[in-house]
Amino acid sequence: MAKPPSKPARTGRKIGQKVKKSKLKASSRRWIERHINDPYVQRARTEGFRARAAYKLLEIDEKHEILKGARRIIDLGAAPGSWSQIAAKVTGSTDTDVRVAAIDFLEMAPVPGVKFFQMDFLDDDAPELLRDALDGPPDLVISDMAAPTTGHKRTDHLRTMYLCEVAAYFAIETLAEGGHFLAKTFQGGAENDLLTMLKQNFKQVVHVKPAASRSESVEMFVLAKSFKGRQTDD
């Protein structure tokens, strides 16, 4: 099972570096300083992950074991690809035996073993393309999708919750029985209708905030475990 980070790896970069004053705004300079001094960012560089977000997934898996036994995975909002990197590794996916499908409207450099679609997940064709890319239903659907922030907390929450809801319905229509669904949301929690729907279709539904998610960030994740299976008509 994948292990979360314990101590920052040594990278040759000193913690607490300052960015030289320039024409950058003070807020931009502070963001850069925080980023380059972030131990998760430094460890991601050392361990070959494309983004610090990799440790959010690894830490969630450490507690909930959602990657264990996964044979096929679909990654929504995949760019720059750190979750896809983990997915390809745990499934043993290769370019000749693809077990991971991913999508993002942003460009993403190829990840070995991952079939990537650069398109909007809300496109009508997207769900079927993702399903067709694999040779069977996925055991895990993961979503790090978030709408571009506006600075208005309520608006940002509603826009990202909409993406979370669309991803949840996709998971219910796509997952193998017993599979899991993980999606980004914002603090304020999932809407009641969404939580009710997830609880009807999964055996356990919880909110999680991994340590790798910055304390000042409003992001959280909703995790629905053990899909009960799709209902069929008589």
List CB contacts of 74: < 8 A, sequence separation 6 or more. 100, 101, 102, 130, 134, 138, 140, 141, 142, 174
Closest CA to 3 of 223, 220, 212: 212
Answer positive or negative: Cα dihedral of 158, 159, 162, 164: negative
Distance separating alpha carbons of residues 165 and 169, to the nearest angstrom: 6
CA geometry: angle 74, 60, 114, nearest 5 deg: 25
| DSSP annotation string for 1-17 | ------SPPP-SPPTT-
Out of 56, 115, 184, 225, the active site residue is 184
Let me know if 63 is a catalytic residue.
no
d(Cα 94, Cα 110) in Å, to the nearest integer?
A: 12
How many residues are present in the chain? Answer: 234
DSSP string, 93-159: -BTTB--EEEEESS-----TTEEEEES-TTSTTHHHHHHHTSSS--SEEEE---PPP-S-HHHHHHH
- Phi then psi for residue 65, to 5 deg, are 55, 50
Q: Catalytic residue positions? A: 184
